[in-house]
Amino acid sequence: MGEDKQEKKEKKNKEGGDQGGQQEKPPGGYDPTPLKPSSGPTYTVKITFHGASNIPISDYGSRSCDPYLLAQIDSSLTPRHSRDPPLRFRSQTIHKQLEPKWNAEWVVAGVPASGFELDISVLDEDPDDHDDRLGKVFVSTGKISKDWQGIKEQEFKVKEKGADVFAYGLRWIRAALCRGVEVHAKLCLSMELVGETKEEVGKIYTVNNFWWTHYSPMIGMLTGTRGEDDRGAERFDFEANELQLRGPVPNELYHRYVNFRSFVGGMFEGVGIRGRILHKALHHQHERIYNFNTQTKFGTFPDGPGDAMTLKFLDMVHHDQGGRIFTYVITLDGMFRFTETGKEFGIDLLSKHTMHSDVNIYIAWSGEFFIRRLAHPKESPEAPDQHTHPADDLPNGPPHTAPPKDPSFYELVIDNDSGTYRPEAKLIPIFKKFLEKNFPGLHIEVKTCDDEHLSKMKDQQRKIKKKEGEGRVFGQSSEVGSISSSEVSSLDSRIDDDENGVAPHVSGRERGFEALEHPREALKELIGSPGKGGEKNVEKGGQAS
């Protein structure tokens, strides 16, 4: 006669794939699965991608190319989950160049003595289409010890395997007709042993810090969002930010998506008709928002976390310029991605955090944040005589003068408001310490999503934003098409409705996906729907036409 309620709960937990063995409802959120420590000493290695030569022409209109590198590290270390995102690095793009010089540095720590393999893809950036694949380079470090000599400006042949035929077609023809035509491109790189890793945590992680800011006028027009260009002129634009934090991300910060509806697991795993469609759509949306093009800005912090990095973060969030609230995700390798919360253009029923994570099953932390300027930087933000801007009109800053360049004047108020991943409140002290390490000088307050004082502060920010005008935003909505932790009880009630046979409210789009995956059930529902005589015929044992 079917499964009882307990069997249904166990099935849902199993489908959720909760790695921590927890029987939570719904499955997901914090995962306590430990990370296996390294069996011996680990090392810190600096990889430098110097440049490349003989890159094939991929844009025949300009007889040039816009090359960049996408590198991935594979090692013998065992991840906690087979679907943990790989450790990757993207170089900046060198536009209209067949002999690019990147001189891009990637410093990684926690490398085991067995070393690692570096899988490097050479690609041509094309913001309006799929990036062209120009070939691959595979480099193995071999075993690493204190005496490892590394690699010094060595050239490696770029293999055309997997490359787009269009990029190499003309070159292959020329090589067949003429002698002396070199087919392969070459990549020059170095690897240097920095020393033994002091903070060994059982995984390889990124140490150096860099940032990206992405702009999209097209998305700005779709959402009605505006920004200012370098000359201060206002125009349609959409802004998305990435800031690589110094690792390691504490191992305790490990959260899995919450399987709050039947379609969510398929969406993250990319299985089933609906799951594949939603997975691809969200991945495409992520690429559109974090779109690399000629307007993309990039920078590094050679000295690591310090005033320069903190001030850059404040600049990225347009500090002291109104009541902005930002949506963010921090990946397992410490990539801090965020956009301003504003008008929604996303996909129905899907969370903004899912988009920011690029549909990753596991992340470190997620939520929302905003910045406040303090009247008394040497006092606690909670001091009785403390006042904050933009709530209060304070001297020594906007709207009267330029904002202060001292990080101690500002407070970062950040929370765990994400129903998609539900970061664990008891881990807030660990998360706060990680942020303080990366943003020295900044006052940092981490709050839970159900904090009443936080709700009042957010309402205040929204009121200020409303006075400024809804067009002055840079992001996605926290209202339409997104799920916040404040809606957890609502999500839980949906699960209870499913278990008790109560049909939840679904949109036309979701019904369409259901019909694709279960056409027979959809047809039965249509035939037996009220007002069409279906139920009456079924009750009489008749056959509906």
pLDDT reading at 360 higher than 70: yes
- Average pLDDT (176-199) is 84
Taking each helix axis as running N to C, give the angle between helix 273-289 and helix 508-517, from 0 to 180 degrees, rounded to the nearest 10: 130
- pLDDT at position 536 is 39
- pLDDT at position 209 is 97
- Average pLDDT (493-518) is 49
In a domain, 501, yes or no: no
pTM for the whole thing? Answer: 0.81
- Give the separation between CA 450 and CA 14, rounded to whole angstroms: 29
In a domain, 259, yes or no: yes
115 shares its domain with 227:
no
318 shares its domain with 195:
no
The three-point CA angle 274-267-272 to 5° equals: 40
267 shares its domain with 391:
yes
Domain extent at residue 101: 30-204
- pLDDT at position 246 is 96
In a domain, 223, yes or no: yes
Higher pLDDT, 26 or 538: 26
100 shares its domain with 238:
no
User: What's the structural domain count of the chain?
Assistant: 2
Task: Give the pLDDT band (50/70/90) at residue 368.
Answer: very high
Neighbour-count burial for 491-507, b at 16+ CB within 10 Å, e otherwise: beebbeebbeeeeeeee
Kind plus residue range of the DSSP H or E element containing 519: helix 519-527
412 shares its domain with 280:
yes
- Average pLDDT (22-35) is 72
458 shares its domain with 366:
yes
In a domain, 22, yes or no: no
Token duo for residue 129: 């289409």
Token duo for residue 539: 């009750």
- Average pLDDT (393-404) is 77
Last residue of a domain, one of 447, 470, 493: 470
Higher pLDDT, 100 or 162: 100
- Average pLDDT (123-135) is 85
161 shares its domain with 219:
no
Query: Of 23-37, 197-211, 499-513, which range is least confident?
Result: 499-513
pLDDT reading at 337 higher than 90: yes
98 shares its domain with 188:
yes
Q: What would the DSSP string read from start to end of 190-210?
A: EEEEEEE-SS--SS-EE-SEE
Query: Of 19-23, 207-211, 489-493, which range is least confident?
Result: 19-23
Last residue of a domain, one of 204, 229, 261: 204
181 shares its domain with 277:
no
Tell me the pLDDT of the chain averaged across its residues. 79
In a domain, 176, yes or no: yes
- Average pLDDT (404-431) is 93
196 shares its domain with 305:
no
- pLDDT at position 381 is 80
- Give the separation between CA 415 and CA 449, rounded to whole angstroms: 6
**Residues 431 and 423 sit within 8 Å (Cβ to Cβ):** yes
Residue range 229-282, pLDDT digits in tens: 555 555 556 789 999 999 999 999 999 998 877 778 788 888 888 888 888 888
Task: Give the pLDDT band (50/70/90) at residue 474.
Answer: very low
- pLDDT at position 397 is 72
Task: Give the pLDDT band (50/70/90) at residue 442.
Answer: very high
Q: Before 398, cis peptide (omega within 30)?
A: no
In a domain, 24, yes or no: no
Task: Give the pLDDT band (50/70/90) at residue 91.
Answer: very high
In a domain, 543, yes or no: no
Q: Which residues pair with 193 in a beta bridge?
A: 45
Higher pLDDT, 130 or 542: 130
- Give the separation between CA 309 and CA 208, rounded to whole angstroms: 12
> Which stretches of 416-512 are assigned E, i.e. beta strand?
443-447
Last residue of a domain, one of 185, 204, 223: 204
Query: Of 250-259, 335-344, 439-448, 517-526, which range is least confident?
Result: 517-526
178 shares its domain with 315:
no
- pLDDT at position 462 is 83
182 shares its domain with 311:
no
Residue 398 one-letter amino acid: P
In a domain, 523, yes or no: no
In this structure, are strands 255-256 and 362-363 parallel, antiparallel, or unpaired? Answer: antiparallel
- Average pLDDT (413-441) is 95
- pLDDT at position 463 is 83
- The CATH number of residue 68's host domain is 2.60.40.150
Q: How many CA atoms lie within 13 A of 317 on its CB side?
A: 29
- Average pLDDT (492-503) is 46
Torsion angle of the four alpha carbons 460, 466, 469, 474, in this order, in degrees rounded to the nearest 10: 60
Query: Of 71-80, 128-137, 198-207, 530-539, which range is least confident?
Result: 530-539
